Structure 1
């Protein structure tokens, strides 16, 4: 039991037998594949706390790079009760329920503008949420009759996004970021958030939502957005959140 009264749940990694602490990691080193490279990989694994470490795979990856897979034991423990996550705080609604609520309470179509900003050309994520074909058999937001969806596509500049949101009188702006080298997704999100706050007063600003596989969902306040969606998000979850935030909570623009 912790000081705040929360019961701790301590676990360790599982490999061959319960609680044996075995893990498998992979990484690339900027060295050609030889015995010295394999020794370097084992040394790195040791510094990561893997002891003993076994090299189970090594392969040359072009000139001067080698990919490694290492298997071994760690002694680290994890307190599951101390893990912080963003819990879903809104009900999941069907498309019929979303349409009914928007029609009855908003009395106009809910405008959504989506894009991949900066140099990001990966539209798979934003298309999965917005396009009518959706993902894994679930229809995208274009399928919802009471949602007006504008998909700007890839490599949209922040000024272009702000202007499109203004023209479309967007209630919500959805941004997908897949490219994460040198934290590009974080820099782009902060730039977007600052631009909207500069261009629009608080009462007229659209809901700002970002998504992508490398985002930490707990960083919404730090990045200046209203919500972050991570890997595996479905169109239904996004539609339900929009309805919760903009319709049932009466935060929609007049």
Structure 2
């Protein structure tokens, strides 16, 4: 009897293992370049392989899309993810919880740190216009939100968190070249470790499309949010974490 917890990719027919992969090679487009793309895909475990698209980029690079059958199986019971371990609250429920548990406004400081100038993520969470049909954190009457914007040096973020009496610090990182998002996050968590005692520091939350949500402890932050996160996700987590004093050791 087949185990439904073991799955393969689906392309044309169930269980055929077909996947589509795209990548760029530093070679001009010709037949040899297409052969190189097919060889790379074969070494990745695809067999058979078809190069279904090739487009030269500039004078010496080519973008490829290849289609092929993967032989690997996935055991769903072995998949590790970060599940939402708190209830998703409405804005009214968030406001009521903050009022009851804190007796004052919850202070959130947000920023893009380092050289990252992409504010679309932090703005989507913080600004009142929000994201995906949800109002941002500025909409919540019991939250006071300070959005510092782009390219904020880590020392400035720490100082502003101190000045504002921040309960939580939200950092968005979109630029990922050479793992810049990881380096910046580690720098930030180390700076907060030096500036605050373990029980005094604000919650440290980072988000961005390339983060692995399993790396929170390794990066020294309390929570990582990846793509698809809405303001309601973040607001509900803030209430949960501050009410239960959920803080991971930084470092």
Measured after TM superposition, the shift of residue 9 of structure 1 is: 1.2
Please name the residue that 1:218 is paired with.
214
**Equivalent residue, structure 2, for 1:37:** 33
**Which one of 1, 8, 17 corresponds to residue 12 of structure 1?**
8
Tell me if 1:80 matches 2:72.
no
| Conserved? CA contact 1:178–1:212, under 8 Å | yes
| Distance of 1:8 and 1:229 partners within structure 2 | 29
Matching residue of 1:21? 17
TM-score for the superposition, normalised by structure 2: 0.95
Which residue number in structure 1 is paired with residue 119 of structure 2? 123
Kindly report the root-mean-square deviation, in angstroms, between the aligned alpha carbons of the 2 structures: 1.3
CA-to-aligned-CA distance 1:162-195 (integer Å, 9 cap, x gap): 0010000000000000000111100000000000
Equivalent residue for 1:92?
88
Shift in alpha-carbon separation, 1:13–1:169, aligned structure 2, 3 A? same
Compute the displacement of 1:74 (Å).
1.4
Aligned to 2:229: 233
User: Does the CA contact (< 8 Å) of 1:28 and 1:65 recur in 2?
Assistant: yes
- 1:191-227, Cα deviation, whole Å (9 max, x unpaired): 0000000011112100000000000101100000000
Instruction: Tell me, in whole angstroms, the C-alpha distance in 2 between the residues paired with 1:119 and 1:63.
Output: 29
Match of 2:134 among 129, 135, 138: 138
Q: 1:199 and 2:195 equivalent?
A: yes
Structure 1 residue 84: Cα displacement: 0.2
Q: Which runs of 5+ in 2 are unaligned?
A: none
Match of 2:244 in 1: 249
> SS at the partner of 1:202?
coil
Q: What are the equivalent positions in structure 2 for 1:176-187 lying under 5 Å apart?
A: 176-187=172-183
1:48 alignment partner in structure 2: 44
Name the residue aligned to 1:158. 154
The size of the alignment, in residue pairs, is 245
TM-score w.r.t. the length of structure 1 is: 0.94
In the alignment, which residue of structure 2 is the partner of 1:4? none
* Structure 1 spans left out of the alignment, 5+ residues: 1-6
Structure 2 CA distance for aligned equivalents of residues 108 and 230 of structure 1: 29
Which residue is equivalent to 2:61? 65
Give the ranges of 4+ consecutive aligned residues of structure 1 lying more than 3 Å apart after TM superposition.
Answer: none
